[in-house]
A and B are shown apart, each in its own frame.
Chain A
Amino acid sequence: MTKYYQPEIECASREQIRQWQDERLVKQVKHVWDNVPYYRAKMEAAGVTPEDIKSADDLHKLPFITKDDLRECYPYGLLAKPLSECVRIQSTSGTTGKRVVAFYTQHDIDLWEECCARAIMAVGGDENDVCHVSYGYGLFTGGPGLNGGSHKVGCLTLPMSSGNTERQLQFMTDLGSTILCCTPSYAAYLGESAKEMGITDKLKLKAGIFGAEAWTEEMRRDIEKSLGLKAYDIYGLTEISGPGVSFECEAQTGMHINEDHFIAEIINPETGEVLPEGEKGELVFTSITKEAFPLLRYRTRDICVLSREKCSCGRTHVKMTKPMGRSDDMLIIRGVNVFPSQIESVLLAQGFPPNYQIIVDRVNNTDTFDINVEMPPEKFTDTVREVTAMEKELVAALKAMLGIVAKVHLMAPKSIQRSEGKAVRVVDKRKLY
Chain B
Amino acid sequence: MSVKQISVFVENQAGLLSEVTTLLADNGINLRALSIADTSDFGILRIIVEDVEKAAQILHDHGNTYTVTEVLAVKMDDKTGGLAKILKVLADAEIFLEYAYAFLLQKPGEACLIIRVPDNDAAEAALAAAGIGITTQEELF
Residue of B nearest to A409 (CB): B41
Query: Is the CB–CB distance between A375 and B98 below 8 Å?
Result: no
| Chain B positions 32-64 with a Cβ under 8 Å from a chain A Cβ | 37-39, 41-42, 44, 46, 62-64
Q: A377-B65, A382-B116, A383-B99 are in contact. Are A411 and B11 (CB under 8 A)?
A: yes
Tell whether A167 is near chain B: CB-to-CB under 8 Å: no
Query: Is the CB–CB distance between B37 and A384 below 8 Å?
Result: yes
Q: B18: shortest Cβ distance to chain A, in Å? A: 14
Interface 1/0s, chain B 1-33, versus A by CB < 8 A?
000010101110000100000000000000000
A410 to B65, alpha carbons, bound, how many Å? 11
Query: Is the CB–CB distance between A410 and B41 below 8 Å?
Result: yes
Residues of B within 8 A of A409 (CB): 11, 41-42
Residues of B within 8 A of A422 (CB): none
Tell whether A414 is near chain B: CB-to-CB under 8 Å: yes
Interface size on B, as a range, is: 20 to 34
A383 to B42, alpha carbons, bound, how many Å? 12
> Count the A-B residue pairs with Cβ separation under 8 angstroms: how many?
58
Q: A375-B9, A391-B41 are in contact. Are A413 and B63 (CB under 8 A)?
A: yes
Residues of B within 8 A of A413 (CB): 63, 65
A409 to B38, alpha carbons, bound, how many Å? 13
Residues of B within 8 A of A380 (CB): 7, 9, 65-67
A377 to B66, alpha carbons, bound, how many Å? 6
Residues of B within 8 A of A411 (CB): 11
A384 to B80, alpha carbons, bound, how many Å? 29
A212 to B46, alpha carbons, bound, how many Å? 47
A388 to B39, alpha carbons, bound, how many Å? 9
| Chain A positions 189-244 with a Cβ under 8 Å from a chain B Cβ | none
Interface 1/0s, chain A 405-433, versus B by CB < 8 A?
00001111111000000000000000000
Residues of B within 8 A of A376 (CB): 65
Interface size on A, as a range, is: 10 to 19
Q: A350: shortest Cβ distance to chain B, in Å? A: 16
Per DSSP, are chain A's interface residues mostly helix, strand or loop, or mixed?
mixed
Q: A347: shortest Cβ distance to chain B, in Å? A: 16
Query: Is the CB–CB distance between A377 and B11 below 8 Å?
Result: no
* The one of A382, A384, A388 that contacts B69, using a Cβ cutoff of 8 Å: A382
Query: Is the CB–CB distance between A415 and B11 below 8 Å?
Result: yes
Residues of B within 8 A of A385 (CB): 98
Residue of A nearest to B62 (CB): A414
Query: Is the CB–CB distance between B42 and A410 below 8 Å?
Result: yes
Residues of B within 8 A of A128 (CB): none
Residues of B within 8 A of A375 (CB): 9, 42, 65
Residues of B within 8 A of A382 (CB): 5, 7, 44, 46, 67, 69, 116
Query: Is the CB–CB distance between A381 and B67 below 8 Å?
Result: yes
Q: A105: shortest Cβ distance to chain B, in Å? A: 56
Residues of A within 8 A of B64 (CB): 412, 414
Interface centre among B38, B46, B98 (most CB of A within 10 A): B98
Residue of B nearest to A418 (CB): B63
Residues of A within 8 A of B5 (CB): 382
Residue of B nearest to A377 (CB): B65
Residue of B nearest to A414 (CB): B63
**9 A/B residue pairs, CB under 8 Å, sorted by A:** A380-B67, A381-B67, A383-B98, A384-B99, A387-B9, A387-B42, A391-B41, A414-B62, A414-B64
B-side residues, CB < 8 A to A, are 5, 7, 9-11, 16, 37-39, 41-42, 44, 46, 62-67, 69, 98-99, 116
Q: Closest 6 A-B residue pairs measured CB to CB?
A: A414-B63, A382-B7, A382-B69, A384-B37, A380-B65, A377-B65
Known: A383-B99, A412-B64. 11 other contacts (CB 8 A): A375-B9, A380-B9, A380-B65, A382-B116, A384-B99, A385-B98, A387-B9, A409-B11, A410-B11, A410-B42, A413-B65
A-side residues, CB < 8 A to B, are 375-377, 380-385, 387-388, 391, 409-415
